[in-house]
Amino acid sequence: MKIQSNLDHLICKIEQWNQVPTLYQLALKELENKMKVIEAEWKMRDGYCPIEHTKTRIKSINSVIKKLERKGMGVTIENAITQIYDVAGMRIVCAFVNDIYMILDHLKQRDDLSIIEIKDYIANPKPNGYQSLHVIVQVPLVLFEDTCWISVEIQLRTLAMDFWASMEHIIFYKYEKEVPPHVLQELTKVALAADDLDKKMFALRKEVQSYSVTQIEAEESPKSMSVRDLLFDTNDA
């Protein structure tokens, strides 16, 4: 009987842990729907949306448990939900750096999200050159008995930052995190090049926008009279 009781307890714990990803999947779905509304509204209002594309992911239960152990916390579902903020993640990729901060300002104004932490690795890149804006938000999930606020980590990057981060991840995976020093140095150089690319593309964008406005104003302004118009005024005919 005791063995059966322990087995039932173990099965119950396994079933509870298996429910955790479902909560985060639902929270991510809520956040995805909100972002779709934001994208549609931005396009209707401005004819342009700063979001190039989004991607979501959920950590495996094993990864969550290992992170709890690394942090010296008890391996409980409560600790997983309340202490680990990046179980669920959304990556938002933009074309330009100022688009990232524009999205952040919008998220701060929303009543249906709660921002609990911001880590700006764009203003303060990591030593290896990594750049991204990390925002921990809590998404309300309305359940049968209560409303549960689930944490989701949003990473906002430019296309150049995302490319660099993806390549860095592939390299670390290939070398099983034992990356030779000269490779780390080259990665840092490439990160600086990516940052320089972002700045140059933003400067080009500003120039194009300025040119377009000047062109429109020129087309809308009255045309100046030519010398022939002054000499042969058609109204005197």
Judging by beta carbons within 10 Å of its beta carbon (0-12, 13-18, 19+), is residue 120 exposed, middle or buried?
Answer: middle
| Residue 60 neighbours by CB distance under 10 Å | 11
d(CA 115, CA 42): 21
Crossing angle of helices 2-46 and 61-70, in 10° steps, is 100
If we measure between CA atoms, which residue out of 148, 135, 74 comes closest to residue 100? 135
92 with 132: CB under 8 angstroms? no
Give the catalytic positions in this structure: 153
11 with 63: CB under 8 angstroms? no
